[in-house]
Amino acid sequence: MSKLLIKNGTIVNSNDTYVSDILVENGKIVKIDKDISISDCDVIDATGKHVLPGLIDLHVHLREPGLEYKEDIESGSKAAVHGGFTGIACMPNTKPVCDNAVTVGYIVNRAKEVGLCKVYPIGAATKGLDGAELAEIGKMKKLGAVAVSDDGKPVATGQMTRLVMEYAADFSIKLHAHCEDKSLSGDGVVNEGKYSTFVGLKGIPNVSETAGVVREIAIAENFNKEVHICHVSTKESVDAIRQAKARGVKVTAETCPHYFTLTDEAIVNFDTSTKVNPPLRAESDRLAIIEGLRDGTIDAIATDHAPHHVDDKRVEYAYAAFGITGLETSFALSYTKLVKENGFTMSKLVKLMSENPAKIINVDGGKIEVGECADLAIVDLGADWVVDKTKFYSKGKNTPFDGMKVSGQVFATVFGGKIVYKEDKIYG
Do 301 and 326 meet the contact criterion of CB atoms below 8 Å apart? no
Among 118, 178, 215, 235, contact with Zn ion (rule: CB under 5 A) = 178
For ligand DOR, the closer of residues 306 and 387 by Cβ is 306
Active site residue 151: no
Q: Which of 72, 304, 312, 375 is catalytic?
A: 304
Residues 283-322 that bind ligand DOR (CB under 6 A): 306, 322
**Cα–Cα distances in Å, from 342 out to 106, 290, 422?**
42, 8, 29
C-alpha R_g of the chain: 20
Which residue type is seen at 7? K
Is 72 a binding residue for Zn ion by CB under 5 A? The answer is: no
Is 215 a binding residue for ligand DOR by CB under 6 A? The answer is: no
Residue 273: contacted member of ligand DOR, Zn ion, none (CB under 5 to 8 Å, by partner type):
none
> If you ran DSSP here, which 8-state letter would residue 354 be given?
I
Tell me the three-class secondary structure of 357-420, residue by residue: HHHHCCCCCCCCCCCCECCEEEEEEEEEEECCHHHCCCCCCCCCCCCCEEEEEEEEEEECCEEE
Among 181, 304, 328, 380, contact with Zn ion (rule: CB under 5 A) = 304
Q: Please tell me the count of residues contacting ligand DOR according to CB under 6 A.
A: 10
Helical (H) or strand (E) element with 426: strand 425-426
Is 234 a binding residue for ligand DOR by CB under 6 A? The answer is: no
Half-sphere exposure of 223 (CA within 13 A, CB side): 20
**251 three-state secondary structure:** strand
Which residue type is seen at 76? G
What is the bridge-based pairing of β-strands 50-53 and 42-45?
unpaired
What x/- string results for residues 59 through 88 when contact with ligand DOR is judged by CB under 6 A?
--x---------------------------
The least distance separating ligand DOR from the CB of residue 279, rounded to whole angstroms, comes to: 9
Is 258 a binding residue for Zn ion by CB under 5 A? The answer is: no
Among 185, 277, 325, 394, contact with ligand DOR (rule: CB under 6 A) = 277
For Zn ion, the closer of residues 94 and 261 by Cβ is 94
Is 203 a binding residue for ligand DOR by CB under 6 A? The answer is: no
The least distance separating ligand DOR from the CB of residue 104, rounded to whole angstroms, comes to: 18
The least distance separating Zn ion from the CB of residue 129, rounded to whole angstroms, comes to: 11
For ligand DOR, the closer of residues 93 and 252 by Cβ is 93
> Could you give the CA distance from residue 17 to residue 355 in angstroms, rounded to a whole number?
14
**Cα–Cα distances in Å, from 172 out to 108, 155, 166, 169, 389?**
19, 19, 10, 5, 39
Is 276 a binding residue for ligand DOR by CB under 6 A? The answer is: yes
Is 152 a binding residue for ligand DOR by CB under 6 A? The answer is: yes
Is 178 a binding residue for ligand DOR by CB under 6 A? The answer is: yes
Q: Residue 220: name the closest of 279, 179, 277 by CA.
A: 179
Q: Please tell me the count of residues contacting Zn ion according to CB under 5 A.
A: 3
What residues are labeled active site?
304
Residues at the contact surface with ligand DOR, assessed by CB under 6 A:
61, 93, 151-152, 178, 276-277, 306, 322-323
